[in-house]
Chain A
Amino acid sequence: MKNIKHIFRKEFKTYFISPIAYIVISVFLIIIGWLFFSTFFLEKQANLTKFFSLLPITFAFIIPAVTMRLFSEEINIGSYELLITLPLSFREIILGKFFAAVAFVAIMLSPTLMYAVSTSLIGDLDWGPVIGGYFGAILLGASFSAVGLLASSLTRNQVVAFIIGMAICFSLTLLIDFVLFFIPNVFIGFFQYLSASHHFQNIAKGVLDLRDIIYFLSLSFIALYATNLVIEEKK
């Protein structure tokens, strides 16, 4: 337990002493801010539904950029060998890195709370869906972080890790739109269940359904477990 905290602290610190953190956060805020506010005043509705509906697709390429270095960089420069030979279990290493990525996502999201505050000033904002939305955003961010971590453990090349992570997150986000045209009706429910954006939209509407929470938790678990298998296999 203690070791998870130490790994977490080290990884979290590393994010903010390198320029990556500031670049990623800026890019995220510019993109999401532009996409959200460019149509905000046309819709004449004081809510953040549009903002939350943009999150899965934005996260799908921002979060792999956050997680790409977690294992790839270590494998590449060789510090991975130092890390593995310290008295740490794989589980502690993976969870420490995972929580650092989730904390980073939370920090990245926090400036967008200003959107909620400023929206509430110009209209009657319903806070329920906003709180639900942020809760869902953290769950979504956590499961994409786990996927990104898995991608990072697969390769020593950060660019490859980014592309693999983005491909998986994009597929999970767009699954429902893509496959709708090709598959018979009976399977739609099944693919809908696999789609991250489908589950996220439920939460973003303010509906806290246990099924959606379980989806995100199990996606995180499966990705982290797969990461464990990958680094076990490296021995």
Chain B
Amino acid sequence: MSALGSAFGWLERFCHNYGPKIGRSTIVIVLLALWLPIVLVVVMSFAADGVLSFPPDNLTLEWYFVFLENDAAISSVFTTMKVSLVATPITVALATMLSYGVSRYDFRGKSAIQGLVTLPIIVPLIVVGVALALFFGMINVGGGFWSVVAAHVVRTIPFAALIILPTFMTFDRSLEEASKDLGANELETFWNVTLPNIMPAIVAGGILAFTVSFNEFIYTYFVRGTGMETMPIYLWSRIQHNVTPEVNVLSVVFLVVAILLVLVAVLLTNISRLTMRS
């Protein structure tokens, strides 16, 4: 007992004395682990040598010109954008409708819905990927754009619902009653009151869904058939042959496009203003 007590006492003194230092070091280590690989990729995209060795001897834009002349690479960027920009609104709409239904109506098994919707996140991706490919084969839908979009919707709905559903569940319903009391019907109330107030969650869910879709590899790999080459798929096929700095250029382009699209979404929806108010 006293040994335990003194151990706690020691721990407490230790935390008291070194707590701020430990906290700061943890932040540095975590941020390095997150950002160092990205910084390396960006730096290496300017490497003059044909091989990946750090630090590069000379810097060059050569590989960016190589990329710009690579039609397959550029078309893969556009394919990815097309898939994600189509899949994300579908996902957001479905997740919003589902959340509205769950928060509004009573039905059997309602409490299980939240778990059932988000649980697929932990199912091994390859298992679902194979299942999707088999399913599309079974219903005689081959690979192609819409198969990939459907797979992306399946992949991203749990993420969008994870954010949108709780917001609906905690939404103050008396705001809707006030709206109806003041003369707005159900549809006007949803449009004027419900939607603006849950918009931050819808945008956040949409951005998360978009980034997951943009990076999606495994489902796409299984259901794409031939010809559909999203950027992650293209990258994968490239590094199987040889690793040149062009792969890094592709990664940088990938990163820039993703960040730009998210920024556009943020600006368009004025999310910072909305989150501030709610």
Q: Do A and B bind each other?
A: no
